[in-house]
Every structure is written in C-alpha cells, then in structure tokens.
A and B are shown apart, each in its own frame.
Chain A
Amino acid sequence: MLRRDFVRLAGGAALGAIASPVLGPIWAARADGPPARLIVVMLRGAVDGLNVVVPYAEAAYYEARSTIAIQRPGTDNGALDLDGHFGLHPALQPLMAMWNDEKLAFIHAAGSPDPSRSHFDAQLFMENGTPGRSTTPDGWMDRLLAALPGPRSPTEAVSVGPTLPYIFKGPVAVANLPLGPKAAAPMVIDRPEIASAFDKLYDGNDKQSEAYRQGRAARTQLVADMSSEEQRMADNGAPPAEGFPGIAARLARLVSQDKHVRLAFVSLGGWDTHARQGNDKGQLAGRLKALGEGLVALQQSLGQDWSDTVLAVISEFGRTVHENGNGGTDHGHGNVIWVMGGPVKGGKVYGQWPGLAAAQLYQQRDLAVTTDFRHPLANIVEKHLRLDDKALAKIFPDMPSARGDFTDILAG
C-alpha cells in the first residue's frame, strides 16, 4: 500500500515537473483532436479465463483440473499472486508491472446473458452488442463511433487486419489496415497517375466506391505516419517485429502519430484449446506470452498517450471448469475481461465471484456469469469517452440497468 502510494506520488511529481515544456504542446494539439481512446482486443475461440486469472484459493479448481491447473503462487512457475485469491498465469509476467501500478484490472465471471456455446453466435453477440439477437444490423463499436462528437476523419476508427469485423459493421465507415511487418511498403497503387485513373472508377456513392475512398485515405495516412523520420530511426538496424507484439507496436505508433484515432480493434485467434492446452507451459502459455508481450509493447509505444487510453480484452465465452479427457477444455460460459490503461482503477479483480463448487456452476459444468460483458464496456464508454445515457442506450440497447455487484473500473 505504502509502496503503491509512493509510486503514484512520484509519478505525479515527475509529470508535474515536465508538464509545461512537453505536455503543453501535446494538449494543444489535442484541442481539436480526441480526448480519449479505446482499444478493444478480441480473443476469438474462447480463451480459458480460469487459467488466465486463476482462482488458486479454491480447492475445486485443482480438483477439476488434474493436469492443466496453474499451481499456487510460491510454487515453481506457479501463478503470480494478484490479491490473495486470484493469481495471473505465469506467462503473463510482463503485465505484472502494470498490475502493480494499478493500471490493470480484471472483471471475473463476466460474459453473455445468452447461453450459446457456439463460437460464432457468441462472437456475433459480443460484437453486435445485443446478446440473443442475431439480426442487429451493426456492431456496437460502429454505433459508438457514430455517437462520438466532432468532425469525421478517415482514421477515427481503425480495425487491424485485411477484413472488417462485425463489431465495426454499420453506417459509419471504418478503415481497416493490415499492420504486418510490410504494412507501409510501397505499392504500385500509391503512384499518383495510377491512383487517379482508379479514382475516376470509384467516384460514386455505392459501397465499393466508399470503401475504395476510405482505403485510399487510410493508406495515405498510414504511409505518412509509418514513414516518418522517427519511424525510420526506430527501425534502424532492427528487423520489424513479427506476430502480435509487432502488430501492437505498429498500432500504438499509428495511434500516437495520428491524433484522430479514437477507436481501434484487433482480434487474435488460436484460443480454442480442446486438447493438450498445457499448464504453465504449452499451447495456451505460448499464446498468452505473445499477447502479454504485445500489450506491454503497445503500452510502451504509446508513451504519453497511454495516460488517456483504455484497452479491453474480451473473448466470446469461457471454457469448462473441468478439463476434458484430452488435457483440454470444452466450450463453457463465464470468462474474465481484462481492462488496462491510464484511467483504469486497477490492481483489483472486480465482479462477484460465484465460486467453483458443483452447486455454484452454470449447468453443473461452467463458471457462472455474474457480470454482463456490456457493463464494463458501457462503463468505459460513459466514463472514459464521456457519452451520456442516451448515447449508451443506442450503443447497447436493452442492456439491463441492474449491474449487480459490478462497480466503476475507471477513475473520475
């Protein structure tokens, strides 16, 4: 407690000391730009939340998982203690600094009120923001984008990858950018004489023309941002990073360079661990390690901009409490949501923990859901992006007002 306060005070003092020369221009630049941004990372395939934030104090956890459990803190490569009840998967060690700074929080036993164990239905509900209703024509992040005030920019919302996810489907155009190692490499379509010939083909109001123009604008912005002097210096001699850490660092650079970006989305696959998922080592551990390193790379590349960024990690549902016959886990229900960033009241596992005893499980097999996944997201929208109830009702229509034991995760 004392140590944390000291860190916070010291940090505050340091910020105060450099505020006038450095922060001054940044704030000035933001007067016509965004006050805050939200990044959502979606783990497609249902990550095993019970092995991410491990309820190590529960005997039932170890009874249910004879080969895949993460051992208690203090044992060799055991969980990293969070609060005396929960521990973090050891592969996520890079995130512990953020936890200790109280900038990382978890909401456990969170999930959808819809019982579906279909990946595709559950992902759709998490992206359209209306659990149980598959006909909603747009995604909640697109509705959120529509609700944000201010003039539109082609890169106000950025989706990482070659296709547009459902979460950004809707009337407001969203740029998608593949952020692989060669993202900003020259293309023939960049040449003005070639581009202008295509511009004539795509000057209409149809969807293809709109997408074409959005793509042109976003690419121009990307090439400008990524080819800056700073970028060339940063990459001098070092090969571009591969995998999620590389993508995360490039996304952060884009966000830092381009003050228009307010919303970003990236999804990662490979979490559907039905067999041999491993424990402190193995398949899941390897994926978590890359994810943790990527999140830290993102934080570091954001620099000062981390202070007004909130990042949420979500996944469509959790996995069975009991391991199956093949050292894996099958489709379950409740999961854990991760929230991090400057404005987060972190260092805490939020939510009402329902327990893992047989009688406490959902349908005798899964972690029960005690926090609707929309509530933490709505909390971020309201407190961080400063939208009112009217806007919230459009972003998450029919969201129950009763939040259970879930409390604010953001300062302010």
Chain B
Amino acid sequence: MLHRVFIIFWICFFAAVPARADPALDRQIIHVLNRITLGPTAEAVAHVKAIGIDRYVDEQLDPASLPEPTALTDRLAALDTQELSAAQLFAKYGPQPSETMASAKPTQEMIDARIKRAESILEQARAARVYRALYSPRQLQEAMVDFWFNHFNVNAYNGFDMLWVGNFENEAIRPHVLGKFRDLLLATAQHPAMLYYLDNQDSTAPGSPSAARLFSDINENYARELMELHTLGVDGGYTQKDVDTLAMILTGWGFNYDALTTGSGSAFAFIASRHDPSPKVFLGHTIAPGGEEQGIAAIDILAKSPATAHHIAFELAQYFVADKPAAALVDRLAAEFLATGGDIKAVMKALLTSTEFRDSAGQKYKTPYQYVLSAVRATGSKIKSPTPFLGTMAQLGMPLYLCPTPDGYKNTQDAWLSPDAMTTRTNFAVLVGGGALLNYVPPDEQEARIVAASAAPDARPITVSAKALQTLLDPILTDHTRAAIAQSPAAMKAALILGSPDFMRR
C-alpha cells in the first residue's frame, strides 16, 4: 500500500501533475483531521486543502479565533442549565431545605423527583458535549476537552456530581485545555465536582475547631490521586507520608455552604476551621505555616515537577500519536512543558509539528467516543437527537461522564478492541449507514423539548450518500476494503465504509 502511494507520488512528481492529484497529501490531511478533530468532514478537508496543514494546525491551536456558527450556538442556547453556576445548580436542583430538615424526612417521591431533575441536567450536559464535538469549528479544543476530562475524571453517578459534571467541564476544563497546566490543575482542585468525587470536601484536620463526628480526620483519597493520576504519575517518587502530608495541606478545601444554599457566589470555600495550619515538608519542599496558600504552594510544586512534565507529555503523546509513544518524543515534550512553565499550547505545537506525529497515521484505534462521533461527522448530517449515539457509546463500555474510576477512560487499542466491540461497531455502522440513527427522534417528552428547541428545524429525512463517504475517506481505505465494498450491494456500501477496519482507526 505504502509502496503504491510512493509510486504514484513519484509519477505525479515527474509528470508535474497539478497539486490537486496528490494522494500522499490527501492521506496526510485525513491523518491530521483524524487526530486533532473528532473526525474528517468534507468541509474540513476542503478547508485544509485551501489553507494548508500548517496553517490549519495554527488555527486549531487558537480556538478563540474560530467563531462558532449559529447552527451550533442556537442548539447550545436551548440547553438552559448549561448557563448556571455550580452554586446555582445545587441551590436549584440539589436537595431542598425541606428535605434536609431532620424533622421532616423527605418522601421517596420527593427524592425521585429531585433525581429526575438532576438527570435532566446531565442529559443537557451530554447534548452540549456531543453538539460541540460534532459541529464546533474548534475541533482541537474539543479533542483536548475529551483528553483533559478523562485526565481529571469525575463520575456523574457519584452523588452530587450529576449536577456538576457539565459545569466542571465548562468552568474547570474547557477554558484551560490549551492554557497553563497549573491553572487547569487549580481549577479542577477547587471545583465542587472534584472536591466531592474524591472526598476532599470531607477531609478535616483532626483536632481542628470544626472537627466532629464524620468530619474528624483527614481523607487521603484526593491527595493520592492528585499525585498518582493528575500530576506526578504512579512512579513519580512520592511516598505514603507525602500522601498524608498533602491531605493535611489540603484540609479545609471544601464547599461554600452559603453559596450552595443561596445559589450566589463561588461553590468553593477554604474553611479555616477545618484546616491544619502548621508548617510542613512536602516532597522535600518546606511549606510555611498558613491557610489556603499552603494548598496553592503544593499545587505549584506539583505543577512544576519534572515527573509531572513527563507524565503529562506521555499521556498527550499516547492520545495524539501512538499507544506506545517513542521515548524521544515524550522527552522532548516534557522538556517543552518545563521550559514553558507548563504551557499546554506550546507542548501541543511541539507535538503536532513532530515527525513522530506526522508519520503515525492509522496507529490509533478509535475509542467508542471517537468512533461514534466520527461516523456522524463523516456523513455530514445534522442529527435530530444525541440519544442513540450516547447509547452506542454506553453499549461499547464508554458511557459519557460515567467512568466510575478517577483514572478516566483509556484511549489505547488494548482497552477498546474486543470481539463484542467489533459486533457492536459493525451493527452501529449499519444503523448509521442506513440513516436510522441519524433520523431518530426520541419519544420521551422531556428530551423532545430539548430536541425541538435545539435541533435544526429541517424535517426532511437524512440520507447517507455512500459515494460522498467513499470520496471523503478513500485516501485511507485499503485495496482490500475497496474490493469488499465494490462487491457489496449498493444499500450496504455506506455501512461497510463506516464499519471498515480503516475507519475504526485514526
């Protein structure tokens, strides 16, 4: 295959054929779109051809310069809970004062009604994520949201996090995905979704003025994962003593109860009466006596650590380049991370302009999230509901916002390639290729309201053109796939392209 491409390349070169017939370039364009977007579209390919790969990458590294079309902003505007702050979400949709009074125990109906309301917030958060991933021109930003959300994973089925998971993404993750790592880390550390999920909200210095009953001592859950998963990495050189010390440093990082009750103000508060202000030695650094600034100092130590730089560099290279990225690439990215004070955009620029990235086409197996969304994007259709696509992600073991463990969803072939995955993916390809899922309108009244308000008011049924799909994806189809498609009945061709081994890779 490669050989054939080369021959064609050289023939083109010597014959001085105009640039438009350049299969190697076509293939590279699909490669770049496969990696830094949620999947190639005909529109994106035309755009990259017009401005060139380098300019396209620069454009994507500066998402603020790319305006979101009204077709997307109209859809998002209909999702009203997306605009609420974490405190507002809790005040409006959390347990009501009438429920928490000891004298009046809530009835099961009250609790069920509240959970149903909270579920509507989760559904809106999911719709927003899917719409942005499908239709935002800021595609690298959306890929980075997927990456960083999993890096700082919280689980929507963990208590109050059902209220906050969308807010966590919008306020703690999305603004920083190409910013400074330290800001991203601090934003996640102080978001109520993280404080709740990893129990730091409960952690209390023993003997502190507010220590009592179920808030009587430290909880090491967040401190451990903060080092193991978010920063240093499991081999980053910390000990159990560092875990205990960091948990003590972070005592008092919790909820602002007034804000949660009234719905105004920041949901985060530093609660001095639960904090241990004594001086500490953390990872060999002395931390002076103090309050919240002790935690900020610890975050700064972690964000600047070479172990963190290496850990983040490895994860970015694994997500964007290869399951087992070359050590030389990881080292260069880690050096860039340290040299720029953890500037994620600079690290990404180094990654996306590396030869390792350029030469890695097809090395990644798409996650369920990437596979499902890329299929919709390839058809170029404006879906009527995100529900069947979210359902397929769940069926494939990757329900959106529901990874139960703090390590987030993996993005390697080992994690996702399985016999059942192939059955489910090919089945999904048939349902998309035939248009069934693209035209799905949910019967549920609540969701119908979201859809009616947010979907394009186009009532015509969506059909998928196998010819257009084949033109778009031809650069990455193997001869074997082309032959199988050629032999198949016309009605099956679109399904076979979307269900091909080539389309499951990126």
Complex interface bits, B200-218 against A, C-beta within 8 A gives 1, otherwise 0: 0011101000010011111
Among A163, A188, A215, the most chain B Cβ lie within 10 Å of the Cβ of: A163
In the complex, which residues of chain A have a beta carbon less than 8 angstroms from the beta carbon of B492?
A: 194, 197
Given contacts A117-B224, A330-B219, A330-B220, contact A269 B407 (CB under 8 A): no
In angstroms, Cα B203 to Cα A328, docked, is: 11
**CB contact between A162 and one of B202, B365, B424 (< 8 Å): that residue:** B424
Complex interface bits, B469-491 against A, C-beta within 8 A gives 1, otherwise 0: 00000000000110010011100
Total A-B Cβ pairs within 8 A: 162
In the complex, which residues of chain A have a beta carbon less than 8 angstroms from the beta carbon of B423?
A: 187, 189, 212, 215-216, 219
Closest B residue, CB atoms, query A119: B405
Q: Are A176 and B417 in contact (CB under 8 A)?
A: no
Shortest CB-to-CB span from B505 to chain A, Å, is 8
In the complex, which residues of chain A have a beta carbon less than 8 angstroms from the beta carbon of B216?
A: 325-326
**A201 interface residue (CB < 8 Å to B):** yes
Q: Are B430 and A324 in contact (CB under 8 A)?
A: no
In angstroms, Cα B224 to Cα A331, docked, is: 10
In the complex, which residues of chain B have a beta carbon less than 8 angstroms from the beta carbon of A188?
A: 427, 430-431
In angstroms, Cα B200 to Cα A275, docked, is: 10
Closest B residue, CB atoms, query A187: B427
Given contacts A117-B240, A208-B504, contact A269 B404 (CB under 8 A): yes
Given contacts A44-B405, A188-B430, contact A324 B396 (CB under 8 A): no
**CB contact between B496 and one of A197, A211, A218, A325 (< 8 Å): that residue:** A197
In angstroms, Cα B430 to Cα A12, docked, is: 54
**A390 interface residue (CB < 8 Å to B):** no
Complex interface bits, A117-128 against B, C-beta within 8 A gives 1, otherwise 0: 111110000000
In the complex, which residues of chain A have a beta carbon less than 8 angstroms from the beta carbon of B430?
A: 188-189, 194
Question: Which positions in A face B, CB cutoff 8 Å?
Answer: 44-45, 67, 116-121, 161-164, 166, 169, 173-178, 187-189, 193-194, 197-198, 200-202, 204, 206-209, 211-212, 214-216, 218-219, 269-270, 272, 274-276, 324-328, 330-331, 363
Please report which residues of chain B, range 8-37, place their CB below 8 angstroms from some CB of chain A when the two chains form the complex: none
Shortest CB-to-CB span from A205 to chain B, Å, is 12
Counting from the closest, the 7 A-B pairs by CB-CB distance are: A325-B217, A215-B419, A162-B397, A214-B419, A189-B427, A326-B202, A212-B422
Q: Are B501 and A325 in contact (CB under 8 A)?
A: no
Given contacts A324-B220, A325-B218, A326-B203, contact A173 B419 (CB under 8 A): yes
In angstroms, Cα B421 to Cα A67, docked, is: 44
**CB contact between B407 and one of A120, A174, A328, A330 (< 8 Å): that residue:** A120
In the complex, which residues of chain A have a beta carbon less than 8 angstroms from the beta carbon of B202?
A: 275, 325-326
Closest A residue, CB atoms, query B365: A208
Among A161, A175, A200, A207, the most chain B Cβ lie within 10 Å of the Cβ of: A200
In the complex, which residues of chain A have a beta carbon less than 8 angstroms from the beta carbon of B458?
A: none
**B84 interface residue (CB < 8 Å to A):** no
In the complex, which residues of chain A have a beta carbon less than 8 angstroms from the beta carbon of B404?
A: 45, 269-270
Given contacts A208-B417, A324-B218, A324-B219, contact A201 B422 (CB under 8 A): no
Shortest CB-to-CB span from A233 to chain B, Å, is 27
Q: Are A162 and B420 in contact (CB under 8 A)?
A: yes
In angstroms, Cα B417 to Cα A215, docked, is: 11
**B228 interface residue (CB < 8 Å to A):** yes
Shortest CB-to-CB span from B501 to chain A, Å, is 4
In angstroms, Cα B492 to Cα A120, docked, is: 42
Complex interface bits, B92-107 against A, C-beta within 8 A gives 1, otherwise 0: 0000000000000000
Closest B residue, CB atoms, query A322: B217
**CB contact between A326 and one of B215, B395, B422, B500 (< 8 Å): that residue:** B215
Extra pairs beyond A197-B495, A215-B421 (10, CB < 8 Å):
A117-B240, A187-B427, A197-B484, A198-B499, A212-B423, A219-B420, A269-B404, A324-B219, A326-B217, A328-B219
In angstroms, Cα B417 to Cα A214, docked, is: 12
In the complex, which residues of chain A have a beta carbon less than 8 angstroms from the beta carbon of B203?
A: 325-326
In the complex, which residues of chain A have a beta carbon less than 8 angstroms from the beta carbon of B204?
A: 325-326
In angstroms, Cα B413 to Cα A208, docked, is: 10
In angstroms, Cα B26 to Cα A311, docked, is: 54
Q: Are B421 and A163 in contact (CB under 8 A)?
A: yes
In the complex, which residues of chain B have a beta carbon less than 8 angstroms from the beta carbon of A161?
A: 397
Closest B residue, CB atoms, query A190: B427
Q: Are B427 and A209 in contact (CB under 8 A)?
A: no
Shortest CB-to-CB span from A401 to chain B, Å, is 29
**B270 interface residue (CB < 8 Å to A):** no
Shortest CB-to-CB span from B132 to chain A, Å, is 25
In angstroms, Cα B347 to Cα A335, docked, is: 42
Shortest CB-to-CB span from B197 to chain A, Å, is 10
Shortest CB-to-CB span from A133 to chain B, Å, is 13
In the complex, which residues of chain B have a beta carbon less than 8 angstroms from the beta carbon of A324?
A: 217-220
Q: Are B405 and A202 in contact (CB under 8 A)?
A: no
Shortest CB-to-CB span from B207 to chain A, Å, is 11
Q: Are B501 and A162 in contact (CB under 8 A)?
A: no
**B261 interface residue (CB < 8 Å to A):** no
In the complex, which residues of chain B have a beta carbon less than 8 angstroms from the beta carbon of A272?
A: 221, 405
Q: Are A201 and B481 in contact (CB under 8 A)?
A: yes
Q: Are B219 and A325 in contact (CB under 8 A)?
A: yes
In angstroms, Cα B219 to Cα A44, docked, is: 20
In angstroms, Cα B271 to Cα A392, docked, is: 55
In the complex, which residues of chain A have a beta carbon less than 8 angstroms from the beta carbon of B500?
A: 201
Q: Are A211 and B199 in contact (CB under 8 A)?
A: no
In angstroms, Cα B396 to Cα A164, docked, is: 11
Among A119, A204, A209, A324, the most chain B Cβ lie within 10 Å of the Cβ of: A324
